[in-house]
Amino acid sequence: MSTTTTLRALTIDNINPHVKEAKYAVRGELAIKSEEYRSQLQKGDGKDLPFDAVISANIGNPQQLDQKPITFFRQVASLLENPLLLEHEDVLIDKLGYKSDVVARAKKLLKDVKSVGAYSQSQGAPGIRESVAKFIEKRDGYPADPKSVYLCAGASSGVNALMNVICASPKTGVLVPIPQYPLYTATLSLLNAKAVPYYLNEESAWSTDVGGIKTALKKAQDEGIDVRAVVIINPGNPTGACLEAEDITSVLKLAAEEKLVVLADEVYQMNVYKGKFSSFKKALRDLQKSDENKDGKFDNVELASMHSTSKGLIGECGHRGGYYEMVGFDEEVSLAIMLEDRANTVMKVVSQVYKFVSIMLCPPVIGQCIVEMMVNPPVEGDPSYELFNQEYERTHKGLQDRANALHKAFEEMEGVSCQPPQGAMYLFPTITLPEKAIKAAEKEGKKPDEFYCLRMLDATGVCVVAGSGFGQKEGTLHFRTTFLAPGVEWVSRITDFHKKFMDEFR
Amino acid sequence: MSTTTTLRALTIDNINPHVKEAKYAVRGELAIKSEEYRSQLQKGDGKDLPFDAVISANIGNPQQLDQKPITFFRQVASLLENPLLLEHEDVLIDKLGYKSDVVARAKKLLKDVKSVGAYSQSQGAPGIRESVAKFIEKRDGYPADPKSVYLCAGASSGVNALMNVICASPKTGVLVPIPQYPLYTATLSLLNAKAVPYYLNEESAWSTDVGGIKTALKKAQDEGIDVRAVVIINPGNPTGACLEAEDITSVLKLAAEEKLVVLADEVYQMNVYKGKFSSFKKALRDLQKSDENKDGKFDNVELASMHSTSKGLIGECGHRGGYYEMVGFDEEVSLAIMLEDRANTVMKVVSQVYKFVSIMLCPPVIGQCIVEMMVNPPVEGDPSYELFNQEYERTHKGLQDRANALHKAFEEMEGVSCQPPQGAMYLFPTITLPEKAIKAAEKEGKKPDEFYCLRMLDATGVCVVAGSGFGQKEGTLHFRTTFLAPGVEWVSRITDFHKKFMDEFR
């Protein structure tokens, strides 16, 4: 115990141990150090640094890396923030290039929320949840119920709510893919529940193998863990992999057999570069309609699907918008339901998820409006469609091109191998480091991949995240990089660094 | 156990028991029922209801109740959402009434955040934290450090972060005033920690008596509870009381003696109708500078002070903006600090609070910008000052007038007594109900104050919150109402209802 124990109520030794245990490398030491470099460069103090700009490839933050916002979204948002502008429709249209559908959308959304400065319902504004339900219906070809949709402050906040309800004791387990976006393990640490790892198959493009999930499940059950849910990230983070339709069905069948809640993290559903995204919701409804469901065994599969405004081709992460749809859950858990009380008054009883989210009042309202525009963008024939479509396609192409260029560069680097980009915003190459580098890392008290990434940052200003921050098979090393940064110059910074690093430690 | 147990992973019987235990009446059954009435009226289905509008007096949601947003804030926000408008400065100024300081502020904030669609640092954008520090410095006359300021999604999210770090085990206790805003007890329930109640003195305008806090503390300590923090809400919610300077000092002295973290909820600091707000931070610095601190015994008092954009005279709760300043904390707990690692590289080490908040990435960026404008509004001489000041004063006067009118009405009601309004947005009258009403409530399985409030909603469409939702002394009954709704017609609805209620159950 340090001497501070005697001075203060809180010390590093007595705070919540679960907060201490939680790990979240995406915004960890490397990220902080990169911010420090950035601030030195801004102040003109960084003249001795071997680079003149920091590239934050550690986090999917498109607009930090010069991705332009979608004009339609931001024009509407400007009117939501200042509705007095609607009194000058002529100026908006004649002088400022706003189209009539921008004005109409702003009016619709203001009707839904009254003011973006007012709290909405804790579950999100009803009119916006209706738009989300329509989007899901159109995407999947099956009805969706606005009452089952919860708006949230980015998918992270949805995961937090769901995990809080699911995790009942230190014996509660949740199956998480490895590698995974560390939100899941961090949240489980905070809730003092168990992350039950199942491994993705790097050799087959990071595919999800339901056999592997089963093995992990049985092992955990044998250890007395009450496994209640399985997390699937599709498209994958950090892997970028897209699940095959049959793998989705297999996961749902396993969920039915083993009574597992399925948490489908589908925030990258628009970031698909090969093939077509297929949702868990659609697969579940297909399965429920199929002959295999004669006995109704798939009727009660509990599925929560997340989506977000942060990623896709809009990249509005600073707005903290998102939603999750909950289907198949017990009404007392997920829905506010109608009940008659003893006086025969019809009463709504608040569900547990609703109560949980109500404690934080409501998601940011302007973020809710961005969700609405994401799920209900301009369509062909709308005045704003042409520009919207141009911007959307340009971003998609830019991501795809950069992903391919980066992948090519990785494939040419000594000891590096990388699965081809399929989806999301990331590549997750595997690296083989010389024994001398591993020893040097050990000497500095660092994991080899952390050591490598730190050296990369120091040499190039490019900030990536070590594979150990996501989990990786024993004995393998990786790093995750986004392919959001414009240009290719930074890619050659990485290849040059890698060559020198290998030469130094060979 | 219900039959659903056999069908699903999650049932009301097996989910996280701490979520089930949590209570949050502000958005509970009454609020849901009022939303139902509102929706019936909107759809034209509510013709048999004895009122034609629902008044949501259950929650401090100013803009839902027609409080107009501050024009300066919203003009700046419109430019932040659509920076392309800055290419038309002439149109903004000549045709749309924007002033030059609106344009300048938007440019400054865009420099701070780059884009409101990009993630900021998890602690909040550095430039905005600098503005907050300057505001605190100006308010208190003592320096403040931007590194100690955390921006957050409304004060609720700050409380959540702080409580997560503080609560280490089921034996951790936090002193909470009764009555209190139920965020505190709900959060402690979720974290499986103990709320240690201390009672406010209704008879002396809901004052805070440090003797009462001590008694509660000793009792809890005797029961083996590790009491680590004390919550003070000033101005009070639901009571509206403002703490006397000497009571603030007494609380700080107790905190020093007993090593308690002080959590000062100061979100209503601008809502003061009698006297002047005085902050805990200033009182702490005064104490530290005083002769009483010769031995340095007040040097390590840990104080976290919360503020928010939701209340005050701006009422921007839908934007989810807020901040907390942490002073006196161990650096490993609260600050990201500089360390040299073994290779003599200077490294920043992430503090536990920083790591916790980073898991949710960052607070909404447009909300952060609203925080900046709240702490740095137009001042005399600025082009936007006159309008800003008019709007600000009008809102202040409106709140004060409505508070007085409502107070007067309560004082005239049979069996009702109410402390005069001092601060915040609430009155919390005490009600004495006839024995017959209490029996009728019992018969319906309801608490007497809930029964009363439900009857009020059914008869008048006015939604208030029963005192039991905030805690109250055994044997007393209250309700909380905001005084935000415009006009006085709804006040007479309450007085008429009350008269009939008393006649019915007399």
Residue of B nearest to A443 (CA): B342
Task: Tell me what pLDDT residue B93 has.
Answer: 97
Residues of chain A with CATH 3.90.1150.10: 17-49+391-505
In the 8-state DSSP scheme, what is residue A272? B
Query: Is the preceding peptide bond at B179 cis, omega within 30 degrees of 0?
Result: yes
**Partner-chain contact A360 B229, CB within 8 Å:** no
A479 forms beta bridges with: A466
Spell out the long-range contacts of A194-201 with Cβ–Cβ below 8 A and sequence spacing 24 or more: A194/A170, A194/A220, A194/A225, A196/A220, A196/A225, A196/A227, A197/A471, A199/A473, A200/A236, A200/A239, A200/A241
Q: Give the tokens for residue B400.
A: 């004060």
DSSP structure string for B378-447: --TTSTTHHHHHHHHHHHHHHHHHHHHHHHHHHHTSTTEE-PPP-BTTEE--EE---HHHHHHHHHTT--
Q: Does A458 touch chain B (CB under 8 A)?
A: yes
d(CA A113, CA B3): 39
Q: Taking Cα atoms as reference points, which of B314, B290, B285, B9 lies closest to residue B148?
A: B285
d(CA A386, CA A389): 5
Q: pLDDT at residue A108 above 60?
A: yes
Q: Does B389 touch chain A (CB under 8 A)?
A: no
Is the CB of A339 inside 8 Å of chain B's CB atoms?
no
pLDDT digits (tens, 9 = 90+) for A190-216: 999 999 999 999 999 999 999 999 999
Confidence category of residue A5, pLDDT binned at 50, 70, 90 = very low
> What average pLDDT does chain B have?
94
Is pLDDT of B3 > 60?
no
Cβ atoms within 10 Å, residue B467:
27
CATH code that applies to domain B17-49+391-505:
3.90.1150.10
Chain B contacts of A195, Cβ < 8 Å? none
A294 — pLDDT class (breaks 50, 70, 90)? very high
Instruction: Give pLDDT tens digits for B463-497.
Output: 999 999 999 999 999 999 999 998 888 999 999 99
The answer to whether domain A111-375 has CATH 3.40.50.150 is no
DSSP secondary structure letters along B313-376: TT--GGG--EEEEEES--HHHH--EEEE-TT--EEEE--HHHHHHHTT----HHHHHHHHHHHS
DSSP A273-295: SSS----HHHHHHHHHHSGGGTT
Q: A332 and B5 in contact (C-beta within 8 Å)?
A: no
- Least Cα distance to A206 among A156, A247, A173 occurs for A247
Q: Residue A182 and residue A184: Cα distance in Å, rounded? A: 5
Shortest CA distance from A93: residue in chain B:
B91
Mean pLDDT of B157-178: 98
Q: Which residues contact B497 (CB under 8 A, 6 or more apart)?
A: B455, B456, B459, B460, B462
Chain A residues within an 8 Å CB radius of B316: 117
Asked if A328 lies within 8 A of B20 by C-beta distance, the reply is no
Mean pLDDT of chain A: 94
Each residue of B496-505: pLDDT tens digit?
999 999 999 9
Q: What is the pLDDT of residue A32?
A: 83
Residues of chain B with CATH 3.40.640.10: 111-375
Interfacial B residues in 280-309 facing A (CB < 8 Å): 300, 302
Q: Residue B428: what are its φ and ψ, rounded to 5°?
A: -135, 70
Size of interface A-B (CB pairs under 8 A): 335
Q: Is the pLDDT of residue A4 over 70?
A: no
The model carries a pTM of 0.96
Q: Which of A78, A90, A327 to mutate to test the interface with B (most CBs of B within 10 A)?
A: A78
Confidence (pLDDT) at B344: 54
Contact A343 B62 (CB under 8 A): no
Q: Is B254 on the interface with A (CB under 8 A)?
A: no
What average pLDDT does the segment A26-37 reach?
Answer: 84
In this complex, the residue of A74, A95, A117 whose CB is nearest that of residue B69 is A117
Select the residue of B10, B32, B190 nearest A329 (Cβ to Cβ): B10
Identity of the residue in B9, B183, B443 whose CB atom sits nearest the CB atom of A359: B183
Give the gap in angstroms from C-alpha A431 to the nearest C-alpha of chain B. Answer: 23
Q: Which of residues 117-156 of B touch A (CB under 8 A)?
A: 117-122, 126, 153-154, 156
Helical axes A71-81 vs B71-81, angle rounded to 10°: 180
CB under 8 Å to A276, separation ≥6 — which residues?
none
Per-residue pLDDT of B225-258, as tens digits, reads: 999 999 999 999 999 999 999 999 999 999 999 9
Query: Is the CB of residue A102 less than 8 Å away from at least one CB of chain B?
Result: no
What is the arrangement of strands in the sheet containing A465-466, beginning at the earlier edge strand?
A: A426-427, A479-482, A465-466
User: Is this prediction's ipTM beyond 0.90?
Assistant: yes
Residue range B58-72: mean pLDDT, rounded: 94
Q: Which pair of structure tokens corresponds to residue B86? A: 């800055």
Strand partners of residue B174: B195, B229
Nearest CB to A78 within list B7, B78, B319: B78
Residue of B nearest to A366 (CA): B319
Secondary structure (3-state) at A480: strand
Asked if pLDDT for residue B217 goes beyond 70, the answer is yes
3-class SS of residue B178? strand
